[in-house]
């Protein structure tokens, strides 16, 4: 099994979903966003493609025999409309489980997806990170970002370092983000990749499919 096989399965399943017909262009391909666009969400309904695309990934991974799906209850302290959670448990023993939470943007269920890796889970991605008109670069970019998030998390190259006081590093092969770390990020990532424990908790992902 390769990444190309997984992407093909995702595309096949996506083609028969009704949300696959939802598409829109970049709102401002040749200009800077307007000031008023930063506080406006013109059509939140179309962001349903985000949850639908995540569900397509989950379905494809299960169908390919790469994971089993476990529905999860929503904790009572989680507020919001239409919050749903599912855990994907990989069949590769050394790979880490993935929790997928879909929630609402502007009260539209299934329009935001959170990815969390490991047990207990650590947040490693959110799409879209902002749904305002200023940040809207079109459906193709958005769906590509969702796909990239799944590949980054499940492809076997992700490193997560959790430190005290909510410090966190999330690193892939070509980029990293850090919250609360002011220095030593590159060194922490290198040490984690060598198998050292860094901070309070260190997660190094393994591929759910063959490289």
- Reported as a single tens digit per residue, the pLDDT across 80-126 is 678 999 999 999 999 999 999 999 999 999 999 999 999 999 999 99
Contact in structure between 114 and 103 (CB atoms under 8 Å)? yes
Report residue 211's pLDDT band, with 50, 70 and 90 as the boundaries. low
Report residue 166's pLDDT band, with 50, 70 and 90 as the boundaries. confident
Share of the chain above pLDDT 90, in %: 85
Residue 88 pLDDT:
98
Q: Is the pLDDT of residue 77 over 90?
A: no
Residue 68 pLDDT:
97
Q: Is the pLDDT of residue 79 over 70?
A: no
Report residue 144's pLDDT band, with 50, 70 and 90 as the boundaries. very high
State the average pLDDT for the chain: 93
Q: What is the DSSP letter of 80?
A: S
Residue 175 burial (10 A CB sphere; 0-12, 13-18, 19+): exposed
| Stretch 41-66: mean pLDDT | 97
From residue 6, alpha-carbon distances to 49, 53, 59, 137, 159 in Å are: 19, 14, 11, 26, 22
Mention every residue, 6+ apart, whose C-beta is less than 8 A from residue 9. 60, 63, 64
The residues pairing with 90 across neighbouring beta strands, listed in sequence order, are 67
């Amino acid at each position: 099994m390769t990444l190309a096989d997984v992407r093909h399965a995702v595309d096949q399943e996506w083609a028969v979903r009704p949300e696959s017909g939802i598409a829109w262009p970049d709102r401002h391909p040749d200009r800077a966003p307007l000031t008023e666009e930063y506080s406006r969400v013109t059509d939140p309904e179309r962001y349903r493609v985000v949850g639908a695309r995540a569900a397509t990934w989950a379905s494809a991974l299960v169908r390919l025999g790469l994971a089993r799906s476990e529905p999860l209850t929503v904790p009572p302290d989680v507020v919001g409309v239409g919050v749903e959670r599912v855990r994907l448990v990989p069949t590769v023993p050394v790979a880490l489980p993935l929790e997928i939470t879909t929630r609402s943007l502007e009260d539209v269920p299934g329009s935001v997806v959170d990815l969390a890796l490991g047990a207990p889970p650590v947040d490693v991605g959110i799409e879209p990170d902002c749904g305002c008109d200023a940040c809207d670069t079109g459906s193709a970019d958005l769906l590509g970002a969702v796909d990239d998030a799944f590949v980054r998390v499940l492809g076997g190259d992700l490193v997560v370092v959790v430190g005290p006081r909510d410090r966190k590093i999330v690193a892939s092969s070509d980029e990293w983000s850090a919250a609360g770390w002011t220095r030593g990020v590159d060194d922490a990532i290198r040490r984690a990749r060598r198998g050292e424990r860094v901070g309070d908790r260190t997660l190094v992902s393994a591929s759910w499919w063959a490289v």
